[in-house]
Structure 1
Amino acid sequence: MEAGRVYNFNPGPATLPLEVLKEAQAEFLNFNNSGMSILEISHRAPQYAAVHEKAKQDIKDLMGLGDDYEVLFCQGGASQQFAMIPLNYATKEHPGSYVLSGSFAEKAYKEAEHLGVGEIIASSKETGYHHVPQQDELKIDPNAAYVHVCYNNTIYGTEYHYIPETNGVPLFADMSSDMLSRPVDFHKFDFIYAGVQKNLGPAGVVLVVAKKSLLEKSPEKLPTMFRYSTFYKKDSLYNTPPAFCIYMVGKVAAWIKAQGGLEEMARRNERKAKVVYDAIDNSNGFYRGHADKESRSFMNVTFRLPSEELEKKFVAEALTHQLSGVKGHRSVGGMRASIYNAMPYEGAVALAEFMEKFRKENA
């Protein structure tokens, strides 16, 4: 581990590849011999245009998508997309169908409900969001504008390990916390979006990857900046984009390609997750995982200890071992270790070793 740094298990803003941070540091004052920082260059300048286009192409390459898909860089966080999606695509006659698997899936549904164009077709809320609703739980509405899922549930530590079959209804997915973490048949999705601050870059930009046929038209009654067609037709440059954030996302995408692509990310992420889940499963009940085993996330490992007092002690002592950000979300409590693409294997091992040490001292 680099001197002075910690293993950062925060859920977002989250850890970034050290190599990417060093590249950005080296280029910070004089990007591409422009005499300016990337923070200062005009978004209309050719130096930035090259960054913008390469980021888009690298993302499509990693996802294996062709010219029928487009990459957009939007703003407002995933939370703004919760409203933009039903505004652009849902109506009372053709509502958005939502699968509730956690807090953010629920928030997305509530925006559509507020507009009078949302319906719930499956939910695991009643059982504490311990699992992702499975295919046989989905009551697909053939009249729906889309089926919306949150592919990884950061707060509860659950993740989809299948692609829902929607019988022709467009499939929309919030992939904020597991985007580009493993190979997925992205062609089966019509619209994907991700707030990048969890697994792809710094806060400030939302990555949208969607079929062009969906992006080409938006209701004219919508304000300009709430139409996906505006971002599509203007190449995400209708107004000044969050250029530095896009630059960083591009660097992370290039880093993923250089590491071996999504297959290599999946191999690493499964290996890291196994180390931490083994520490839970082999603790004789001292650690209790929140997620059902078949729905466990490779990105966010959530667990409880025997008491809240021990949980507070765990967080404090973890920091003395250079393990930062392990406190769980306030709505769930306990611990949460976010082991995104950039978390090295050594970080997962360090956490697991600390967990065993803490168990022996406090059981």
Structure 2
Amino acid sequence: MLHNSTERRSLRYLVVVVVVLTAFAPATATAVPSPPHEVFGTVTDQNGNAVSDATVTVTGPDGNSYTATTGANGYYEISVPAEEQESGDTLTVSVEGASETTAFASGTSEQLDFSVDADTGGEDGSDPSSPDDDSDAGGGGSVGGGDDGDDVVTVTARISGTNATVPIDGESLSEVGFTSQTNLSATVTITERTGPVAEGPANRTFATGADIEFIFGSSDGVETVRIGVKQSRLDELGVTADQLSIYHLDETTGEWSELDTTVVGQNDLRVVLEAQPDGFSEYAVFATDPGQIEPPGTPTPGTPTPDTPDEDGPTSDGETASEDTPTDDEPEATTDGSGPGFTVVLALLALVAAALLAVRRDD
């Protein structure tokens, strides 16, 4: 009888040890790899034109290097593996004689733009700075010449998450944003338009515009696009938020298509409009002429009377589309006692206590 009791006690101890080792084995065996350090940006010449086919190199302290070639728009992007670097290591980013240094930090993205010298003389020896030079170095012109001036603002930015906003400090454009049901991971270039690139629709006044281009990653998940118009521009035109609509340019026909537009934010500095995108290229915000009481095809929240703005509209809550840009889409590691690991430990302690109690009863 004593022999059987000893065997049963030993068996119970063995079961407890096996349960403990099984519970803790996955936690110690699973290792999450560290994300890389991403460097991206654009390469332009001294005139601000994109430099294509330029080789950008990132070199680590151990001599390992990583390269990328700029595209037609001068954009590059390089990922530096975390396995080959340590936090704080000096990285040298260079292209055609220009270079910058930065410190490696796992899981970060950093924008480094370069301006390099390029041959400005044409094959005929002409000087581009000459007033007699008729070359079109700045790209396609616009009605009113709004996008060829010195004050044109172009921003290249990474967007991520489900609600991303790119601030634009332009003459009339304050921001461009995107929403999506899935996490976005892309790089966009946004150029402010201070004049329409094609003749605008009848009885409409141009307020602002943006050329939106996804130069890295996909725009497939984007569900809405937001465009912010500075209030100073609306004051200049003498129009209100309910007179504004977002338009998209059909580059094949050269005609503007009006999109179903909603005012999603408004304060003393800007008005933010939102619509479902129709591809990404040229967008513009047009205002109905103040003399039109009921402009055809223009969505209006409430009675469309210029001197009685709808105070109960979508902007009465004071929310803006650019105030919150979520950056916490990825789950964070649990470090307190409320996670699943803590629950497993409690369960194991309870199991051990039950086993010891059973042993004492057998004695």
- For this structure pair, what is the TM-score category when the shorter chain's length is used for normalisation? under 0.3
Greater fraction of residues in strand: 2
Greater fraction of residues in helix: 1
TM-score if structure 2 supplies the norm length?
A: 0.24
Pair member with larger Rg = 2
